[in-house]
Structure 1
Amino acid sequence: MLWNTEGFAGPLAAVCGDVPARLRPPADALPVPDADHWARLVPSSAARPLVDRARADLDAPWPQPRASAAARVHRDGDRDGYEQQVFTRQRRLSRAVVAALSDPDPRYLDEVADGVWLLCEQSTWCWPAHDDTFSRHGSVLATVTDPFLDLGAGEVVGQLAWIDHVLGRRLDERYPGLRQRIRHEARTRVIEPFLSRRDWHWLGLDGHVHNWNPWIHGNVLVAGLVLCEEGDERDQLVALVAQGLDRYVAALPADGAIDEGYAYWWNGACRALEALDLLAYATDGAWNPVPEVEALRETVAFPHRSHLGGPWYVNLADGPARPPADQPWHALHRAARAVGDDEARRHAAAHRADDAPATEDAGLGRLLRALSDDAWRAETPGPSPLPSDVWLPSTQVWLARGRAGSAARLTVVLKGGHNDENHNHNDVGSIIVASDGVPVIVDAGRPTYTAQTFGPGRYDIWTMQSDWHSVPRISGSAQPHGAAFAASDPVIVRTDEMEALDLEIGGAYPAGSVRSWRRRAALHRSGHVTIDDRWEAAGPDTEVRLLLAGSVTTGDGWARVTPLDGATPVRITWPTGAPHTLVVRELDDPMLTDVWGDRLSRLAISAGGRTELRVTVEQERNEDERP
C-alpha cells in the first residue's frame, strides 16, 4: 500500500511500517455490532435513557439551520446560533439510531431516515465559521460545488457512516435507495475533496499540527472504511489517514501534554487514540502502534494529571476550568486498557455513570462504542487517582498537591510556556491555586466563540490578555502575543519542607520592560502556598496580579476569598503597606457564568520601589485545627 505520498513518515510508520493492504470488508470494518446482533450484545438497560429521549422527539419538528443564521458569522460575528441548530439536529439523529437498534417500533427507523435525508439535503456540512467560500467565491453562504472539509463535515460523514454500518440492511428494506444517497453525498462533500485537495490547513503540511487533524482524519477513516468499495481507492484513503495521524503524533510531545489543555484533549489526542484503535481493528491488529509510541502512552495520563478535584481541571488556553462532565470516558478507559495505565483507567471509571454509559452529545460513533463496550459497561466507579505532583516539560506546566489521592487542602499550578500556543492566551507565568480542588486563584477561560475569536481581534478579548491572568504587569506593559514571548530556565525545587517550580518569565514582556523576572510557586508541607516574584530593573508601574473566583474582601496586606462550591475559604497575604486595588469584572457570557457565576475579581498589588514580593495563600482553619 502507498504510504509516503507526501514525503513524510513519523513514529507510527517507524513502529508499524505501512498499513497492510488487507483491510476488513466494509460490512465488518467497525468494532460495533449491527442491528442483527445489537439486542443480543447490548443490554436494553444501557440504552433506555436514550430511547426515552428519542420517544419524546417523535412528534416534534426537526431543527432547521437557516441561511440567515449561517450568514451571521460574516455580519455580526455570531457563529453559535447556526452551530447549535446543527448540533441539536445531529444529537436527535443519534438518539433515534440507538432507539431503532433497541426497540422494534418502526417509527424510530422512520426517524432515522428523516434525519439522514435532512443531512443529505442540508446545503453544507461545514460550519460557516470555517468555510473558505467567502475568500474563494465572495459568498457568505456555502458554495455547494466547492465543499470545505472541516470539523462539521467530518462529524456528519462519520455519523452517516456509523448509521450505514449499524442500520444499513434495515434501511435497505424500508428505504431502498437511501444508502446510495448517503454514498453520493459522502463522496461529493468529503471523500473526493479529501483525496484530491491536499492543501487543507489541518493536514499540518506546514508543520503546524493541531486538534483538527485527528478529529477530521478519524471521521474520514470511518467514512472510507464503510462507504468506499474494497479496492485501491479505499486503500489509498486509509493510507492517507494513517499518514495524517502520523503527522499529529509526531508533533505530540514525549510527555503527552496538550498545550490547548484538558478540554481539548478529548478532541485532539483522544481522537487520535480512537482512530488508531479503529485502524487496529480494521487491520485485524496488524497495525497497532499505540502501545509502542511513548507520546501516546503518556497522553493517556494527561486527563488525570490535569485534574484538580471533583468537576474542576487545570485550564489552559481556551479551555474551561469546569468542563462538561459528559465526556467520552469510555474512550479514555479503552486507551488506558490498551497501554496498561491503571491510574488513567481508574480516572475514567470514576466518571462512569450508573444510569447510562454515555450520551449522544459526543457524537454517534462514540455513543455506539460506549454502549457496546463490555468492559466499560461493567466498570465499577471509584475515586480518581489525583497524583501528588505533575511536571510536563513540553508545556512547562507544574502541579503540586498536599497528598496523592486527595483534593483536600491546597493545590497549586504554575505555567510557563510561550504566547503562541494553540488556542493561545497571553499567560506566561500564570498561577492557579485550588482550595479542596476548587480554583480560587484562577484562569478565566474563554467566552462564547465568535468570528473575532480566531480573527485579528483575538487579543482585544479580555480573557485572552495577560492583564486578566494571574501574572505581573511589568513597567506598565502586558504580555504581547508571539512565540518569542516565553518563559525560560525552569527549575524544579524539592526539599523536606516544600516543592516548587522556579522559572524566568521576563522574556514574556516587551524588550526593555525588565531585565529579569523570576517567579517561584511553592507548596509547603505545612499546607500553605507561596508565590515569590524577584526582579531586576522593572519600572515603577509594576503590579503583581491575581484573578480570583468567589466572594472577596480585602484589607492592608490581605484578602479573604470564600470559594465556589463550599470549599474552605482562603486568606491571601502580602507585605503590609504595599498598595492594592480590587477590580470586579461582571460576567454575562454563559461560557463564563456557567463556570464562575456572575463575577471574577482582579487583585493587583503594587510592586513599586521593590525588587521582590511574596504572596502567601493559606486555608482558614477552625480553632481546633490550629497548631
Structure 2
Amino acid sequence: MIGESKSWFDQVTEKLRIDGKRCAKELYPTLSFDAFRQYQKTGDRKRYEYLYFKRRKRLTTFGLLFYLYPENKRYLHELENAIWYVCNEFTWCLPAHLDPTLEGQSYQDFKQTGNVQYTVDLFACETAFTLAEMITLFEEQLDSFLVEKAKIEVERRVFIPFQNRTQWWETATHNWAAVCGCSIGAAALYLITDRQEKKAMIQRVLQTMEYYLSGFEEDGACVEGYHYWQYGFGYYIYFADLLKRFNDVDLLTNEKIKAIAMLQQRLFLDGTYVVNYSDAEAIAYPRMGFTHYLHHRFSDVHIPTIDFGTKEIVDHCGRWAPAIRELWWFDPSLKGKDWVDEEYVFAYAGIFLSRIDHTAFSVKAGHNYEPHNHNDIGHFILYAHGTVFFRDLGSGQYHQNYFNDHRYQYICNSAEGHSVPIVNGKYQQAGSQFRGAMKEVDQHEERSRITIDLSAAYADHTLIHCSRTFTWHKTDQKKLMVEDRFDFTECPSSVVESFIADDLPFQEYEDKLVLFGKEGHLHLLFDRERVQPSVHRRSFMNHQGKQDYFLHICFVALILTKHVKLSFDMRFVQE
C-alpha cells in the first residue's frame, strides 16, 4: 500500500499492537457478582459494562492481531484465553437487558425445566457472531477442544433460545432487529450444518429484516441517528455479504437499500461533525472499509477523505464484526474527497441539512415518539468552521432511569435541553401526538427557507397556532434568521425562546450576543425592547459519563398579546 492507504493501515496496525501489549500485561477483567448486581441495586450500568466491554476489546484485539500476524504464537495464546473466558461467562447479556424470568430463574423453576435459560440481547448475539466467525477463520490453529466448547456455548446461549422462543426484537423497526437478527443469521451460516435447521433460522432472520427496513423511509432517513445507522445497517450489510457468499442470495438490489447506504454522506455537517439528533454523538468517524464496500455496491456512495475515517477499528464495545471488515474491505485504490456542498430534505423524518463552504445548518421536525426519542420539534444545529455554535446535546449516560418513565428528567432528552420555545411555562412532551410538520421548504442558490408548524408540539389549549421559520442565507455573509409566530385564544402568561449553544466564550452587548468560535464569531442579534436575554452555563452527564457543559440562552418575551412574533438574526463573522 502507498500514500494515504499506507498511512491508514500503519496507524491501524500500530494501534492494535500497542493495545495488544497493554492487554497482555493486564490481569483479565473479572466480572464480579457485585458488579453484575449493581444495575439491579442502583440502576448503574457503567461498572459492569466497563469490564464486559474490556473483555470484548481484548478478544477482538488479539483476534485481529493473530489474523495479521499468524506466526505470532503469543497472539494465539492470548486469543485462546480470551475465547475461554468468554465461553465461561455467566451470561453474554448485559444486566440492563436481562429477562429476570430467564437468567434470574429460581431453583424451583430450574428443577421443573432442567434448563438454564438465556436472554438473547444485542451483545449475546454479537458474541455468537464473533465466536462463530473466529473459530471458522482460525479453526486449524485454535485448540480443537476450545473450538467445540465455543460451538456448544453459541448453541445453548443463542441458537436454542432463539429457536424455542419468539424474540421481541423480531418485529422491531430499529437497530435491535438488525444487530440481533443478522448476528444470529451470520453465526448460523458459519456453524449450522443441518440444511433444514439453517434454512428455518435464516428465514426468520429475513422476516425480521423486513421489519428493520420498514423503519427507514424510501429516502433512507434513520431517525435513530448516524451512530445507530452505522451500527444497525452495518450488521445488515455484514449478514447480506455472508448470505451472498454462502447462499448466493443478494439482499442489496433495491433502491431503498441504496438510499439507506447513501445516508452517511447526507448527515455530516463538515469534517467529522455530524447531525446528532436523538441519542447520538456530535463527532463521528466513518468506517473506511465499510464505506468502500458500500461504494463498490453503490457507486453513488461518497468516499470521504481518509482523514475523517476512524483509525481505531476496535470500537468502545470491542465489536469484532465491524473491526475485521475494516481490514477485509479497505480498498487502497479508492481515494476520498471532502463532503460535497449540498442540501438534503428528509420529508418523513422532518430533517433538513444544508452544507456549504464549511458552514452548515440543520433543523428537525418529526414527532416526539421516535426511537431514542428526544423532545425536539423545531430544534436546530448551526455550525461554522470547526465550531458547533448551536448544538444538540446528544446522548446522555445510559442508566436504568434513562429508558423508563424518568427519561425526560434528563435535560439532554427533554425539551428544556433543546432550542425550542417554552409556551406558558410548558415544555414539549413525549408522545407521537406531539409533532411538527414542514409546511414550506423553499430552496434557492442564495437562500433557503423552511417553515415548521409547531402547533401540535405543545399541550396548551390556548395555543391556536405556532410556527417557526428559518431563512438560511448562503452567500458570502452567511446568516440564519429565526422567526417564531404564536397565536393564542387569550393573552399568554409567558413565552420564552430557549437556545442551546456550545460551551463557548461569549460577550453580551445591548442588542446582540457574540459567541467566539475557533475560526470566527457568531453574532446573535435581538430586539431588547421585545425580549430580555439571559445566559447560564449548565452541564449534563454525557454518553461517556463525563460532565459536558453548554450555554443555555433564554429570551423572555416582554410584550405579550394574543399574537406574538419574535425574531433572531444569527450571523457568522470570520476573523
- Counting only pairs closer than 5 Å after superposition, residues 430-441 of structure 1 correspond to structure 2 as 430-441=379-390
SS across alignment from 2:395: coil
Question: Hey, what's the Cα distance between the residues in 1 that align with 2:423 and 2:471?
Answer: 22
What amino acid does structure 1 have at the position aligned with 2:313?
A
For residue 483 of structure 1, what is the aligned residue in structure 2?
Answer: 432
CA distance in structure 1 between the aligned counterparts of 2:417 and 2:324, rounded to whole angstroms: 41
Partner of 1:337: 296
Matched position secondary structure for 2:570: strand
- Give me the whole-angstrom Cα distance separating, in 2, the residues matched to 1:418 and 1:380: 39
Q: In the alignment, which residue of structure 2 is the partner of 1:186?
A: 154
> Aligned letter for 1:276?
A
User: Match for 1:365 among 302, 318, 321?
Assistant: 321
Matched, 1:533 2:484: yes
Relative to structure 1, is the Cα distance of residues 77 and 459 closer, same or farther in structure 2, using a 3 angstrom cutoff? same
- 1:198-277 equivalence runs, <5 A: 198=166, 200-204=167-171, 208-277=172-241
- 3-state SS of the aligned residue for 1:291? coil
Residue identity opposite 1:283 in structure 2: N
Q: Which has the higher contact order (CA 8 A, sep 6+)?
A: 1
What's 1:289 paired with?
A: 251
1:449 aligns with 2:398: yes
- Letter of the structure 1 residue corresponding to residue 337 of structure 2: G
CA distance in 1, matches of 2:510, 2:101: 56
Number of the residue aligned with 1:543: 496
For 1:264 and 1:457, the matched residues in 2 are separated by: 22
Of 149, 169, 177 in structure 1, the residue corresponding to residue 120 of structure 2 is 149
Unmatched 5+ residue regions in structure 2? 1-8
Tell me how far apart the structure 1 counterparts of residues 102 and 437 of structure 2 sit (CA, whole Å). 39
State the identity as a percent: 21
Matched, 1:616 2:572: no
Q: Is the 8 A contact 1:491 1:503 kept in 2?
A: yes
Please tell me whether the aligned partners of residues 357 and 377 of structure 1 are also in contact (alpha carbons under 8 angstroms).
Answer: no
Q: Deviations over 1:380-432 (max 9, x none)?
A: 343222x421100121101223x3xx31xx42211100000000011111011
Cα gap change, 1:604 to 1:468, in 2 (>3 Å): farther
- The aligned counterpart of 1:383 is 338
**Structure 1 pair 570–146 and aligned structure 2 pair: CA distance change class (3 A):** same
Match for 1:569 among 521, 537, 557? 521
Change (3 A) 1:589 1:201: same
Q: Matches of 1:135 and 1:165 in 2, distance apart?
A: 29
Q: What is the distance in 1 between the residues matched to 2:395 and 2:540?
A: 12
By how many angstroms is 1:580 displaced? 2.5
In the TM superposition, residue 437 of structure 1 has moved relative to its aligned partner by: 4.9
The structure-2 alpha-carbon separation of the partners of 1:415 and 1:390, relative to structure 1 and needing over 3 Å to count, comes to: same
Aligned amino acid, residue 358 of structure 1: I
Q: Which amino acid aligns with 1:289?
A: L
Aligned partner of 1:308 among 232, 245, 269? 269
The Cα of 1:307 is off from its aligned counterpart by 0.6
Higher normalized strand content (fraction of residues): 2
Residue correspondences, number: 552
- The one-character-per-residue Cα deviations of 1:176-216 (angstroms, maximum 9, x if unpaired) are 31111111111111001111111x22111xxx421100011
Shift of 1:48: 4.8
* 2:192 maps to amino acid: C
Q: 2:43 aligns with which of 77, 93, 103?
A: 77
Helix, strand or coil for the counterpart of 1:164?
helix
Corresponding residue for residue 5 of structure 2: none
Aligned-partner SS, 2:412: helix
Distance 2:102 2:134 in 1: 34
1-side partners of 2:493 and 2:511: how far apart?
19
Q: Is the contact between residue 578 and residue 607 of structure 1 (CA under 8 Å) also seen in structure 2? A: yes
Task: Tell me: CA distance 1:181–1:607, structure 2 relative to 1, closer, same or farther (3 Å).
Answer: farther
One-letter code aligned to 2:240: L
Q: Which residue number corresponds to residue 122 of structure 1?
A: 89
Structure 1 residues 5-24: aligned runs within 5 Å = none
In the other structure, the counterpart of 1:413 is: 362
Letter in 2 for 1:391: V
What amino acid sits opposite 1:290 in the alignment? L
Query: Are 2:437 and 2:454, in contact at CA under 8 Å, matched by a contact in 1?
Result: yes
C-alpha deviations, 1:197-249, integer Å up to 9, x for none? 11x22111xxx421100011121122101121142111211121122112211
* Cα distance in 2 for residues equivalent to 1:457 and 1:496: 45
Partner Cα separation in structure 2 for residue 95 and residue 264 of structure 1: 23
Against the structure 1 CA distance between its residues 283 and 138, is the aligned structure 2 distance closer, same or farther, given a 3 Å change threshold? closer
**Which residue is equivalent to 1:591?**
543
Residue from 334, 351, 356 that aligns with 2:308: 351
One-letter amino acid of the counterpart of residue 616, structure 1? D
Give yes or no for contact 2:102–2:116 (8 Å, CA) kept in 1. no
CA 98–322 in structure 1, closer or farther in 2 if over 3 Å, else same:
closer
Separation in 2, partners of 1:186, 1:572:
57
Q: Deviations over 1:443-493 (max 9, x none)?
A: 111221000110111111111111221000012211111000001252111
Change in Cα spacing, 1:56 to 1:494, as seen in structure 2 (3 Å) is closer
Correspondent of 2:473 among 524, 527, 545: 524
Counterpart selection for 2:27 from 61, 64, 69: 61
User: Which whole-Å CA distance do the structure 2 matches of 1:296 and 1:58 have between them?
Assistant: 42
8 Å contact from structure 1 (residues 73, 79) kept in 2: yes
Find the aligned partners of 2:542 and 2:208 in 1 and give their Cα distance: 35
- Counterpart AA for 2:90: S
**Residue number in structure 1 paired with 2:410:** 461
Map Cα deviations across residues 357-400 of structure 1 (whole Å, 9 max, x no partner).
83465621222222122x52443343222x42110012110122
Which string of whole-angstrom CA distances, capped at 9 and with x for unpartnered residues, describes residues 126-164 of structure 1?
A: 01101111699578xxx9811000011012111111211
SS state at 2:302 partner: helix
Q: Is the 8 A contact 2:495 2:557 kept in 1?
A: yes
Give the CA deviation at 1:621.
Answer: 4.3
1:396 and 1:490 in contact (8 A); partners too: no
- What corresponds to 1:554 in structure 2? 508
SS at structure 1 position matched to 2:493: coil
Q: Indicate the residue corresponding to 1:37 in structure 2.
A: none
The secondary structure found in structure 2 opposite 1:569 is strand
Indicate the larger mover: 120-129 or 518-527. Answer: 518-527
**Residue 397 of structure 2 contacts residue 545 of structure 2 at CA under 8 Å; is this kept in 1?**
no
For residue 592 of structure 1, report the CA deviation from its aligned partner. Answer: 7.3
CA pair 605-269 structure 1, distance change in 2 beyond 3 A: farther
CA offset digits 1:1-59 (Å, max 9, x no partner): xxxxxxxxxxxxxxxxxxxxxxxxxxxxxxxxxxxxxxxxxx99964542343233223
Tell me the CA shift for residue 280 of structure 1: 1.6
> How many angstroms does 1:611 deviate by?
1.8
